[in-house]
């Protein structure tokens, strides 16, 4: 799933089409979530590929762990890998199609 595939666009004052703010759902802790420690060279996109089979879902891991502005991870960082990806993606789509 592409990150901006559900983000709506609008026209700015000069008439240029721009993306609206992308909204991300809260991701509550579930019993089935996995907790791991990152290793040297780990990145949120490679972890998304490993755990979800889709590197474009990196934002789920980033949001669940409060990671902003970086993709590479420091070694030995405790990370939560959310389990209910379908529910998270569905809420993401709903949030970005409203209004």
List C-alpha distances in Å: 87 to 1, 77, 84.
14, 26, 6
Number of domains in the chain: 1
Tokens of 13: 């004052």
User: For 25-50, what is each residue's pLDDT tens digit?
Assistant: 999 999 999 999 999 999 999 999 99
1 assigned to some structural domain: no
Taking residues 58-65, report their average pLDDT: 97
Domain housing 65: 9-97
Task: Look at residue 67 and tell me whether its pLDDT is greater than 80.
Answer: yes
Q: Is residue 4 part of a domain?
A: no
Q: Classify residue 3: in a domain, yes or no.
A: no
């Amino acid at each position: 799933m592409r990150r901006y595939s559900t983000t709506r666009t609008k026209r700015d004052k000069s008439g240029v089409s721009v993306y609206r703010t992308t909204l991300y759902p809260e991701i509550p802790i579930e019993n089935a979530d996995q907790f791991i420690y990152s290793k040297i060279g780990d990145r949120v996109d490679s972890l998304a590929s490993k755990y979800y089979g889709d590197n474009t879902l990196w934002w789920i891991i980033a949001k669940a762990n409060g990671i902003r502005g970086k993709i590479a991870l420091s070694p030995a960082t405790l990370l939560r890998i959310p389990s209910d990806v379908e529910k998270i993606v569905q809420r993401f789509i709903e949030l970005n199609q409203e209004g």
